[in-house]
Each structure stands twice: as structure tokens, then as C-alpha cells.
Amino acid sequence: MIRPVLTELALFLVPFLLYALFLWATRAGVLDSKSWSWSTLAWLTASALMLVIASFLVLAQFGGAPPRSTYVPAHVEDGKFVPGRTK
């Protein structure tokens, strides 16, 4: 469960890291507060949220079990644990 959360967090941070890289490349001062105005932060946050939403849509469309498959939950059979699976 931690991997999807870290993936979404990384996608959220991408616009901020790219902007910091741009500031560093142009020698504009990455830590200068004027480089990180409220409007810039708003645009970066909006683009980060769009990336996260797009990744949710891609995962919903292309991830998971195939259509018409049936989930068989985990159970105990003959005293042995059988993990859940899709048929």
C-alpha cells in the first residue's frame, strides 16, 4: 500500500522539482522568496493536482483485473491458507 502513496507523492512533487531545477539552471536563486510567489505556487499546485488526477484515471482505466473476472477471496482449504486471486 505504501508504493501507490509514494508514487502519487512523487508525481505531486514533480512540478515543484522541475521549477526548482529551472531556477537553479537560470541562476535565479532557488531559495529566494521572490522566486516562489503565491501565484507561482498556485500554478505549481494546480499542475501537480492535475498530474495526480491524471494518474488516478490512468490507473483506473488500465490497472486491476481483466474485465469479467471473478475475485475469489482468501480462505482456508484443508487446513491450509489459500490467498485471494482472480479467475
Domains held by the chain: number? 1
The tens-digit pLDDT sequence of the chain (87 residues) is 799 899 999 999 999 999 999 999 999 989 998 999 999 999 999 999 999 999 999 988 888 888 889 999 999 999 999 999 998
The CA-atom distances, in angstroms, between 43 and each of 17, 24, 31, 36, 47 are: 13, 19, 18, 11, 6
Give me the domain span that covers residue 20.
2-86
pTM: 0.72
